[in-house]
Amino acid sequence: MVLELDRKDRKLLYELGKDSRQSHSSLGKKIRASKEVVNYRMNRLVKQGAIFKFITILDPAKLGYTLNKVMLKLESISKKKKKELVEYLRNHDSSLWTAECDGPFDVGFMLFARSQFELDYELRKIYEQFSNFINRKEISVNLAGEYFERRYLVGRPPSTKKEQVYGGRPKPITIDANDWKILRVLAEDARASSTDIAKGLPIKADAVRDRIRKLERLGIIKGYSMIIDNAAIGQIHYKVLIKLKDLSKKTLTGIRQFCIKTSKASYLIKSIGPWDLELDLEVESSEEYRNMMMSLTEELPNAIRSYDTLLIYKIHQYRYLPKKE
């Protein structure tokens, strides 16, 4: 059943996408509703599945990690075994993202790793259990990513401002055990209160708030957002794996500007591997998607060599930190 969104629901989703850690009071002022109404609407959106998760966007490079995306094409696999594979990946200590999809791949997941050897070790463990069902795999390394505001929800004009960007040249920063514990809680729920976080620490809520602000200043915490279940609100989520003709700044800037102009792009990733970019789009129909990709190739005829289309129909897990160091 598709959830019908009214104007206040859309405004609330838009604001939570910009900063999911905002207080009820702050959100109430922006959508012109009381704290109680904000609380009620937010809980309803969560319970009815429109909001999958409130996420804290971290910069893995500053914590000494690389992000490695693995896409699998499966074969001769039963529903039961596929569910077992997805559950294994979803619960993996080093997994960030797990999703089922249609297209050239059937399952995608991301693994944190501190080295290529660590990545190889984790992949070999997965293969030990499921190699008979894997036709092929492709691996890419995420270099940087940008989350775009969902301005289409509220009909606002495009903005070129970069707000939630992670990645770049690795510059690991040393943090203490309490900082790690704070990040682990926030990685599971961006809206966890400082009071609740402090319950598991030898410090008080005020100290937790100070440490969160410090982690933001250091660039370890890049922002707070949310993952929408697009199907729950009548949308289709496509992930486009793009191979470029060149990697010039002009080409990358042109694609980013297209993402901003269309307003339906939610995420853009620069990567190294079989493809150069990943573009996530949230659209109303397959026809809208086709028209958008046609416009992109027409506007930047010398930029894109080819692309593959994935329909993301179920996200099972999303977390910006491994469960264990």
pLDDT of residue 164: 80
Rounded Cα–Cα distance for residues 262 and 151 (Å): 10
Give the mean pLDDT of 236-247: 96
Is residue 168's pLDDT more than 80?
no
Q: Is residue 182 a part of any domain in this protein?
A: yes
With both helix axes pointing from N to C terminus, report the angle between 177-188 and 205-217 in degrees, rounded to the nearest 10: 90
Q: Is residue 224 a part of any domain in this protein?
A: no
Q: Is residue 191 a part of any domain in this protein?
A: yes
Give the mean pLDDT of 196-207: 96
Is residue 324's pLDDT more than 90?
no
Average pLDDT, the chain: 95
pLDDT in tens, 99-151: 999 999 999 999 999 999 999 999 999 999 999 999 999 999 999 999 999 99
Last residue of a domain, one of 217, 242, 268: 217
Is residue 170's pLDDT more than 80?
no
Q: Could you tell me the end-to-end alpha-carbon distance of the chain, in angstroms, rounded to an integer?
A: 40
For residues 205 and 299, state if they share a domain: no
Return the CATH number at 182.
Answer: 1.10.10.10
pLDDT in tens, 139-165: 999 999 999 999 999 998 877 666 688
Return the CATH number at 277.
Answer: 3.30.70.100
Q: How confident is the model at residue 69 (pLDDT cuts 50, 70, 90)?
A: very high
pLDDT of residue 52: 97
pLDDT of residue 163: 66
- Structure pTM? 0.94
pLDDT of residue 223: 96
**Contact present, 54 and 224 (Cβ < 8 Å):** yes
Last residue of a domain, one of 217, 238, 272: 217
For residues 233 and 293, state if they share a domain: yes
pLDDT of residue 162: 67
pLDDT of residue 156: 85
Rounded Cα–Cα distance for residues 309 and 79 (Å): 23
Rounded Cα–Cα distance for residues 31 and 34 (Å): 9
Is residue 65's pLDDT more than 70?
yes
Is residue 53's pLDDT more than 70?
yes
Give DSSP secondary structure letters for 64-131: T-EEEEEEEEE-S--HHHHHHHHHHHHT-TTEEEEEEEESS-SEEEEEEESSHHHHHHHHHHHHHHHG
Number of domains in the chain: 2
Can you give the residue range of the structural domain that contains 95? 61-149+229-318
Q: How confident is the model at residue 22 (pLDDT cuts 50, 70, 90)?
A: very high
CA distances from 140 to 30, 66, 116, 300, 315 (A): 39, 11, 12, 24, 19
Is residue 323's pLDDT more than 90?
no
